[in-house]
Structure 1
Amino acid sequence: MAAALTVGGVLVLAAGLWDMFRTLLHPTGQGVLSRMVMAGLWRFSRATGHRLLVVGPSGMLAVLLLWVLMQAVGWALIYLPHVPEGLVYSSGIDPADYSDAVESLYLSAVTLTTLGYGDVVPTDPWIRAVSPVEALTGFALLTAGLTWFTQIYRPLSRRRSLALELKALAGTCFADQLGEIQPEIVTRVLDTLTTEVGRVRIDFAQHSEGFYFQEKDPALSLPHQVTYLLRLRDSAVHAPGSAVRSSGGRLSVAVCQLSTVLDDTFLHVGAPPEEVLTAYATQHGHHRAPA
């Protein structure tokens, strides 16, 4: 029984740490458990009409709490076979008043959070050997959580910047005037957009949690503005100048790559870029392309 509890605890710990690694350190940024939590909250939000625009931060907080819970439970399972014989209690505490499971979970939580009340002290050599590792894990969790929350805002900033650029171009009917503007200016604008779209595509691939962040202001919302990329692409690839058509071709490739990441990772539409980007806008509550 003791061996089974220890093995079970190690498996729970490994699953949580592996998900942390896949989410925070792996280039794809896609842990299985974190994706399940974020996607589940997203589906619930869509079912309620996205009334609260907090799926992104709430999902990240829920994932972080899940990681903490898995570490606490995993270490508690490892401690359980050694409770209460492997512990010394301060005066006034009777271990008979608490179940072994509750006591091991309490010891795990206190160690993980590095509180160290001193009311329960391990004397078992095994617990004394591994409890510092749990304390280090708790410190790593805190650091990882803070880093995760701070690093998401740079991708969000790039996404908002692209949305604002598309909003400005749509407001000036840029796609309808490519033949009337100097080719050098048109190619510069299109090439800049291509670069920005590429960066956003990489952000979605490496920071998948960013998909679940929404914007209240339509001007800052990429899902609201993204379909204008299609108008720019179509106008550019059919423009009279070869330089503009070349830039339009590069933009077309970037749009296709962006739609592929969105479709493969989040939407699963299995359709051309036009339908994928429309589905992206629809999932975020936008049903019409910007004028």
Structure 2
Amino acid sequence: MDGVYPIIGTIILFLLAWDVFATVFIPRGLSGPFTQNSHHLIWRIWCRINCTGTPAARRRLSRLGPMLVILTVIGWALLLWLGFALIFYPHASGFHHGTRSPSDWISALYVSGYSVTTLGVGDIVPKDGNMRLLMILAAGSGFILISIAVTYLLSFYAALGRVTALAYEVHRFLGKSDGYSPVDVVITAITADCIEEMKNWLADIGTTLAQVLMAEQQYTLLNYFHEPDDMALPVALTDVLELTTICRSVLSPTAYPSMANGLITAGTERLTRGYFESLARKFGGRVEVSREAIEDRHIHFDQVRAKLEQAGVQLRDREEAWAIYNTMRQGWEIPCHTIRVLFGYPGFSGLALKSE
């Protein structure tokens, strides 16, 4: 029976090494076996408890990201400790003790603990030479894990800063805190003859968003950080989608070809929509669309069109514009609603998220 423990310990260490390697070094949007499964499980439990839509629930939901960072590092350390303890255990009866002998399990856990934490106490040491070499391996593994964890956390929080900075920039540029909306930005760009400035801003947003998407592929923990509305990326990118949708569907392609049919508005819209679609595939959920959602979409379209007409902006034919607007909104509204609701932000009326 004692021969089983080293096998289990070796398997745990192998899976831990793969988990750290996959989480830290492979930028493919997935973590290792321990990290990915534990994150999803904790997320679902935390979300069921706190996803009630109240400000207090939002605050509790926002604490999950920092908690997961701490739990990930602690989990790696505990698995490393346990793996080497299981390997040491069958040989613990032969350890040399400076004081009275504790139990074999205590000895194995103690030697494994001070080895992987590089404390090097040494009051209990194996007599067997192979076990002493294993202690060196355990100490080296602990030192490497500590170095990787520190480097990972520094890089992770730098990426988190880019995410929140992008959301904050969108929020401030659109003037949400001052009561403005995406349609107001479009009107200002046209009436003040600064269309090129808005296009340049959209191009910058697209470039920064591409970098953020790459960061979220590498640091999957970023998906669990939920900031206040003015620094929340799902909220900010919803406004970017609304802005590009208005440009591409409602504006006259003859009068404003670069805004209605240009590469920048189309590319930014695709990048932003892809952000929500990839997260919706990851976190799951089924959205039910009611007649109220379509009616609200039509009312919003009429309000946008009326505001543009009042400002003297040249527009597409109403029916053509509505057909394009409705199709584009259908393309991003459901994944956008899914992520906003799952992350504790207000969704769209008429849409209901059902957990799978």
The one-letter code matched in structure 2 to 1:94 is R
Any unmatched runs of 5+ in structure 2? 51-56, 288-329, 349-356
1:273 and 1:30, CA in 2 relative to 1: closer, same or farther beyond 3 A? Answer: farther
- The TM-score, its normalising length taken from structure 2, stands at 0.74
1:113 matched to which residue of 2?
Answer: 117
CA contact (8 A) 1:204 1:262 kept: no
2:338 matched to which residue of 1?
Answer: 279
- Corresponding residue to 2:244 among 233, 237, 240: 233
Equivalent-residue separation in structure 1 for 2:174 and 2:85 (angstroms)? 57
CA RMSD of aligned residues (A): 2.1
2:308 matched to which residue of 1?
Answer: none
Any unmatched runs of 5+ in structure 1? none
Equivalent-residue separation in structure 2 for 1:38 and 1:285 (angstroms)? 17
Deviation at 1:288, TM superposition (A): 5.0
Matches within 5 A, 1:16-165: 16-28=16-28, 30-46=31-47, 47-48=49-50, 49-52=57-60, 53-85=62-94, 87-90=95-98, 93-95=99-101, 98-165=102-169
1:257 matched to which residue of 2?
Answer: 274
Query: Alignment partner of 1:23: what SS?
Result: helix
CA contact (8 A) 1:205 1:261 kept: no
Q: Deviations over 1:66-110 (max 9, x none)?
A: 11111111111111111121x1111xx222xx3212211111011
Q: Deviations over 1:104-156 (max 9, x none)?
A: 11110111111122210221122012110110111111112212221112222
1:198 matched to which residue of 2?
Answer: 210
- Corresponding residue to 1:218 among 226, 229, 237: 229
Deviation at 1:263, TM superposition (A): 2.0
Equivalent-residue separation in structure 2 for 1:203 and 1:268 (angstroms)? 24
Deviation at 1:269, TM superposition (A): 5.0
Equivalent-residue separation in structure 2 for 1:51 and 1:248 (angstroms)? 34
Percent sequence identity is 24
2:15 matched to which residue of 1?
Answer: 15
The one-letter code matched in structure 2 to 1:257 is G
CA contact (8 A) 2:92 2:126 kept: no
The one-letter code matched in structure 2 to 1:150 is L
Structure having the higher Rg = 2
Question: Which is further off, 136-145 or 257-266?
Answer: 257-266
Instruction: Confirm whether residue 174 of structure 1 aligns to residue 189 of structure 2.
Output: no
Query: Alignment partner of 2:125: what SS?
Result: strand
